[in-house]
Amino acid sequence: MLIFPAAMKGTGEGISAYDLKPNSKMTNATVSNIDRGTSGQELTLSFKGEQRKMSVPTGTPIVTFANATQSNLVAGAAVIVTAEKAADGTLSASRVAVGLNGIVPPM
């Protein structure tokens, strides 16, 4: 589970296709309530005037974005690169997410 920093609130809000594996989805929303249970937490998510509940099992990694330095980009580090392809075919990265402390993006 990825928690966006406050400055990113509303980014990509809603449910959309995700390329992690076939038929996967991603939900970007505001957590409006958390109910703690014995096997995890049930979140109430709010987005685009809707509310949905989602269960998060105990042990699910919860991460956020933080500024990194070039020293975090080392051989073998797990990364996700967000890039755009120009008309000439070159790629330009707008963001690089690097996993730290055993966390492997896409989180």
Per-residue pLDDT tens over the stretch 26-64:
888 988 899 988 888 999 999 999 999 999 888 887 788
Q: Where are the beta strands (DSSP E) in the chain?
A: 2-3, 14-18, 24-28, 30-36, 40-47, 50-57, 63-64, 79-85, 91-98
More confident residue, 105 or 85: 85
Q: Are residues 85 and 59 in the same domain?
A: no
- Residues 60 and 73 grouped into a single domain: no
Q: Dihedral sign, CA of 72, 77, 82, 87?
A: positive
Same structural domain for residues 52 and 78?
A: no
Place of tokens 């005037």: 49
Do 60 and 70 lie in one domain? The reply is no
- Number of domains forming the structure of the chain: 2
* Claim to verify: residue 54 and residue 9 sit in the same structural domain: yes
- pLDDT greater than 80 at residue 69: yes
Are residues 8 and 48 both part of a single domain? Answer: yes
Question: Please, are residues 79 and 96 in contact by the beta-carbon 8 Å criterion?
Answer: yes
d(CA 105, CA 98): 7
pLDDT greater than 80 at residue 78: yes
So what's the pLDDT on residue 38?
Answer: 80
Q: Are residues 58 and 83 in the same domain?
A: no
107 pLDDT above the threshold of 70? no
CA distance 16 to 24: 9
